[in-house]
């Protein structure tokens, strides 16, 4: 049954259904409503979890890491500065192979301070060993939490994951959303079975230091688990679809890609605007399509190469900037690598940073630029303020 | 030693981590001056020093040459000497 819910509250409902045993988070705009609602659920007895109040995000994820190491299903959520403050622990969680799921309400990074949306925060932790899913709308980002837990906790994966969604644009927007019932989720996501856990009777240390003879191989194993997680996420998404009617087996989703000359590549809520712009451009006879990335880590290179195979130019819409890089965006070079040897032009357009709106006419302008072979730039600079 | 997921290990000295390879200065014990007080055994951060049948023995696989034993020895029976390798 569809209900009108705020994005943050829909996520809180999804998390409740996943039955985490420990939740620890520190409130930060625009993630606050999620953990506020979870704290209410714990206080009201609707969620049987320990809610650990802490003084910072560093402590929040540290508490989560300890709780996960002790064998609990664990949840956290953060944004922007909070995620960056956690960064040391983020890498440790992956290295200790604890399948913690964390919601990221994407927000720009300071300085200058900005509370508004872009995807710089999660992109900055791209190499941390957490898989990264991006939701386009409230339903998708809500469902991705179930899938994330199911894939992460598999003993052949054991990796943490981010479920990313655009701050304010999705976290604070009310949309119709179907929230599954507890019985079905219990069947889909059984109780967490830890692979290793802390036990006073049989003590172990986790994340012990590794000498140069071993460290290299540990990093390799994390990467191998990440590569395997592509299939695990796909299987979890397929099974979810069979039960709940919404299939998430695909890491990339094409939109009007048949006979497209120019293709957009994007992640998150902007895909909705791009689809509307594509519909208008198609009406005008411009052959444009979109390849939406749902799974950014592990990077679905083969699927992207297949989806983009027939186009002449690709416009990668980047809500991030890799400062000092040739293409400017972080996603573009990976698309370029996926299409290596095809001769297809790949161009990044950094746009929408710090909450700047991306309008349909901007999408149309980017398609024009890509068709002309121009890109790898900050799109839409206000020259008058420079 | 096969890797364990998440780099897990039981407590105790990690046998694979032979910190002796770090050593530049070698503790040399003068048996005449040593009173077998046992301070060096207690202070050694690697637990690499033992008293064996009235003699102080250093496990060179793990002694990283930090020199704490020489610093703490009340009779200055331990000298740190540059090791030729």
Bond before B71 cis per omega within 30 degrees: no
The domain B33-82 is placed in CATH, from the list 3.20.20.80, 1.10.150.120, 3.30.70.20, 3.90.550.10, at 3.30.70.20
Q: What is the pLDDT of residue B23?
A: 95
Token couple for A32: 């606050």
Contact state of B11 with A204 under an 8 Å Cβ cutoff: yes
What is the distance in angstroms between the Cα of B20 and the nearest Cα belonging to chain A? 13
Q: Lay out the sheet containing A50-52: strands in order across.
A: A50-52, A22-24, A74-78, A101-106, A161-166, A131-134, A295-297
Q: Each residue of A90-109: pLDDT tens digit? A: 999 999 999 999 999 999 99
Q: Are A161 and A151 in contact, with CB atoms under 8 Å apart?
A: yes
Q: In A, which residues are within 8 Å of B14 by CB distance?
A: 208
DSSP assignment letter at A125: T
Selected residues 17-46 of chain B with any CB under 8 Å from a CB in chain A: 17
Map residue A82 onto helix, strand or coil. Answer: helix
pLDDT at B14 over 70: no
Structure pTM? 0.89
Block residue for tokens 């411009």: A286
Distance (Å) from the C-alpha of residue A232 to the closest C-alpha of chain B? 18
- Of residues A97, A210, A213, nearest to B5 (C-beta): A97
- The whole-number pLDDT of residue B1 equals 59
**B3, B5, B22, B64: which to substitute to probe chain A, counting the most A Cβ within 10 Å?**
B5
Q: Say which of A207, A213, A214 has its CB closest to residue B6.
A: A207
pLDDT, one tens digit per residue, over A141-179 is 999 999 999 999 999 999 999 999 999 999 999 999 999
Task: Report how far apart, in Å, the C-alpha atoms of A18 and of each of A21, A141, A238, A239 are.
Answer: 9, 14, 18, 16
- Short-list A66, A76, A128, CA closest to A105: A76
In A245-350, which residue ranges form alpha helices assigned H by DSSP?
270-283, 301-307, 332-338
User: Is it the case that residue A237 has pLDDT exceeding 80?
Assistant: yes
Domains of chain A in sequence order: 2-244 (3.40.50.970), 252-385 (3.40.50.920)
Contacts A210 to B, Cβ<8 Å: 7
Q: What is the pLDDT of residues A255-270, one digit of tens each?
A: 999 999 999 999 999 9
A206 and B6: CB-CB below 8 Å?
yes
- Closest-CA residue of A relative to B2 is A214
Closest C-alpha to A98, from A120, A67, A136: A67
Which is nearest to A162 in space by CA: A178, A147, A183? A147
pLDDT value, residue B15: 66
Crossing angle, helix A87-95 and helix A57-69, to 10 degrees? 10
Q: Do A209 and B17 count as a contact with CB atoms less than 8 A apart?
A: yes
CB atoms within 10 A of CB A283: 8
Axis crossing angle, helix A7-17 with helix A32-44, rounded to the nearest 10: 40
| Selection from A178, A124, A188, A122 nearest residue A153 by Cα | A188
This model of the complex carries an ipTM of 0.74
Whole-number pLDDT of residue A232: 98
* Chain A residues in contact with B13 (beta carbon < 8 A): none
Give chain A positions within 8 Å (CB) of B10: 203-205
**In the block, which residue shows the tokens 């012990």?**
A208
């Amino acid at each position: 049954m569809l209900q009108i819910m705020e994005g943050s509250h829909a996520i809180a409902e999804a998390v409740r259904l996943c039955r985490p045993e420990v939740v620890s988070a520190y409130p930060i705009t625009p993630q606050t409503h999620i953990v506020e609602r979870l704290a209410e659920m714990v206080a009201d007895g609707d969620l049987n979890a320990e809610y650990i109040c802490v003084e910072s995000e560093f402590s929040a994820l540290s508490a989560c890491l300890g709780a996960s190491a002790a064998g609990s299903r664990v949840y956290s959520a953060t944004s922007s500065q909070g995620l960056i403050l956690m960064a040391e622990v983020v890498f440790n969680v992956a290295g200790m192979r604890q399948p913690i799921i964390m919601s990221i309400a994407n927000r720009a990074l300071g300085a200058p301070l900005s509370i508004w949306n872009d995807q710089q925060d999660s992109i900055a932790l791209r190499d941390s060993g957490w898989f990264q899913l991006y939701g386009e709308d409230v339903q998708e980002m809500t469902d991705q939490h179930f899938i994330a837990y199911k894939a992460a906790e598999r003993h052949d994966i054991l990796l943490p994951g981010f479920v990313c969604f655009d701050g304010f644009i999705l976290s604070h927007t009310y949309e119709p959303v179907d929230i599954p019932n507890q019985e079905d989720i219990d069947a889909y996501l059984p109780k967490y079975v830890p692979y290793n856990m802390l036990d006073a009777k049989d003590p172990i240390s986790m994340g012990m230091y590794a000498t140069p003879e071993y460290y290299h191989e540990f990093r390799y194993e994390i990467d191998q688990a990440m590569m395997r997680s592509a299939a695990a996420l796909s299987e979890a998404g397929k099974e979810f679809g069979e039960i709940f009617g919404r299939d998430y087996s695909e890491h990339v989703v094409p939109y009007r890609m048949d006979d497209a000359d120019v293709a957009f590549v994007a992640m998150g809520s902007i895909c909705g605007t791009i689809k509307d712009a594509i519909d208008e451009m198609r009406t005008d006879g411009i052959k444009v399509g979109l390849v939406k990335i749902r799974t950014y880590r592990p990077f679905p290179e083969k699927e992207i190469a297949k989806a983009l195979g027939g186009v002449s130019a690709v416009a990668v819409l980047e809500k991030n900037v890799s400062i000092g890089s040739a293409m400017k965006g972080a996603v573009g070079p990976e698309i370029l690598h996926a299409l290596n040897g095809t001769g297809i032009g790949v161009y990044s357009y950094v746009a929408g940073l710090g909450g700047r709106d991306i309008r349909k006419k901007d999408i149309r302008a980017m398609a024009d630029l890509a068709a002309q072979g121009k890109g790898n730039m900050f799109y839409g600079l206000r020259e008058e303020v420079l | 030693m096969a890797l364990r997921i998440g780099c897990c290990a039981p407590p105790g000295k990690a046998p694979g981590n032979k910190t002796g390879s770090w050593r530049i200065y070698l503790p040399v014990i003068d048996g005449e001056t040593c009173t077998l007080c046992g301070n060096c055994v207690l202070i050694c951060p690697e637990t690499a020093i033992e008293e064996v049948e009235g003699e102080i023995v250093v496990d060179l696989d793990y002694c990283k040459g930090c020199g704490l034993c020489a610093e703490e020895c009340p009779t200055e029976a331990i000298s740190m000497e540059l090791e030729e390798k």
